Amino acid sequence: MANKKENLKTAGSPDPLGVMNISVNFISPSSLNIRKSIDEQSISELKESILSVGLIQPITLRPDADGYEIVCGERRYQACLAAGMKEIPAMIKNLTDEEAVEIIITENLQREGVGPIEESEAFEHMIESMRYSVEDIAAKIGKPESYVTRRLLLLKLIPPLFEKVKTGELPIGHAERLARVADKHQAAWHEYAFEQRYGEKSAGTLKNLKWWLEHNTNNKLAEAIFDTGLRNFAGVPQACTECPHNTACSLALFDEQEPVCMDPECFAKKTKTAYDANVEEAIKDPNVTLIDTNWNKSAKAKELRKEGFTVYEAHQVRWLTKPELEEVDREDYDSDEEYNQAVKEAESDFAEDMEYYNEESLKLMSAFDLASGKYKKVSIYESAKKAIQKEDSKASEILDLKSKIKRGRELDKEKVMKRLVDHMTVNIPQGPLTDEEFQCMYADFLNRIGYGKKSADIEKKFGIEKKYSASEGIAFVNGVKGVSPEDIGNMVRISLLSNYSGIFPNSLGGAIIFNLAAKWCPKELLEFELDQEGIREKREAKLNARIADLEKGVADGQ
């Protein structure tokens, strides 16, 4: 064996020694090859060609401990064996493992017949082990960057779907769309398509999959009640406008005409946070009327009525819906003339509708809809106003005043928290973290872990369901190494303050801010609370006096 390799250069040299005829006894397939399967039909066809005209293109080998390992040409090698050849023409190269893998991957990816899963695993290897970027891979294999991105998406499929791509049961178009939704929705669709569905158990058409996703996972960002461009909202670091789960961020991947969120859990979390804030804002504004267009089924409407707020039901109000321009489909018309006429008529109707909408809007009042979390322009029917007026005005006023006391106390806490955040932002302590800060930090970290496939593990380990976290970032984590305890303490304090400086005292953020304040600035905490307590006492004294007068009047039957 030694005389086979005595003329070879040192390992790592890519220079070939020319074409040699190598005995098949000294050639073995490479364990580094990403291509796990080869089409038997293509091997048979190549065998016939070799028997007819010989092997036109030599295979590429590199020396190993037992002879030679195939770098490029395993299909040719198999065909030569099938043709009964004892020796195979080969180019010999000294290559390191890294160089061999790069050649193997590049050569395989440029050939036809490589499966999408094999491609995705190859791209992952190139990124993680060979430091390639998506742009580098695209240039290397002569494909668009969007092609590489779509293949990498497949690695996010749950195992049953991943295997079905391998077997061909799941078309690649289906797989790329499913890879963008949460694991639980992938599992639900898999059960629906391959287990529950009557008749043939299959992936079905792409049109049917789009319909299923739209009705089970999708949320149109244009209809969101929160600011989609806001970062660090509802505990989610990324803005929707830059999130990979936003179809508009990957226009090359999908053909949707409007941005859609493919992460329903995140969308729901942001919606709830925005809804709660919008409700608080609405009930504080005396010029806003509360309505419930969900026919008295909204939980928040029932809750506010119990607290003494007036909430009009859907049948008691009239609201305007902003007109939309009707879409005209060219395929519905026989000629361009008919189509253009239909477009003009649609535009004319839209202009008239908008004129009416704008005129009527001036006559209506602003109302907050507890069902949708959005503001509307409404008018209240006279019968509804009279029904409200017939209620016991004194009892209603008592409830209203008590509600104001309750809300006033909530606002007191908000004002204290606002002053604390302003003070603490410019008075951050130095030095190592204290026990209180560690306690807050643990709560913060726990609130951030458990995204995607990790959510089930976090819930199992801690008994707490958490589904959102900051994205993993190896470079960022490595960058923290070697930082002094004092600097780490300062970074954590700034992070805690920036993440929880929203003025919501009854939330987790409120608990963290007040807990930090007790350690950072106890003097200012006491001062701010006493200031607000004095204001509250004066305010409530007036309100309680009025309540006492009203209750006395009710008792006397006046």
Tell me the three-class secondary structure of 387-431, residue by residue.
Answer: HHHCCCHHHHHHHHHHHHHHHHHHHHHHHHHHHHHHHHHCCCCCC
Structure token digits, residue 335? 């000629």
The DSSP output letter for 164 is: H
Residue 305 in contact with residue 396, Cβ under 8 Å?
Answer: no
The DSSP output letter for 8 is: -
Identify whether 74 is a catalytic site residue: yes
Tell me the three-class secondary structure of 266-325, residue by residue.
Answer: HHHHHHHHHHHHHHHHHHHCCCCEEEECCCCCCHHHHHHHHCCCCEEEHHHEEECCCCCC
Catalytic residue selected from 74, 118, 121, 176: 74
Return d(Cα 444, Cα 495) in angstroms, integer: 10
Residue 503 in contact with residue 421, Cβ under 8 Å?
Answer: yes
Residues sharing a CB contact under 8 Å with residue 122, sequence separation 6 or more, in sequence order: 34, 105, 108, 109
H helical segments located in 83-182? 97-109, 116-129, 134-141, 145-153, 159-167, 172-178
Structure token digits, residue 256? 């949707």
Return d(Cα 47, Cα 45) in angstroms, integer: 5
Return d(Cα 124, Cα 149) in angstroms, integer: 10
Residue 546 in contact with residue 393, Cβ under 8 Å?
Answer: no
Instruction: Return the active site residues.
Output: 74
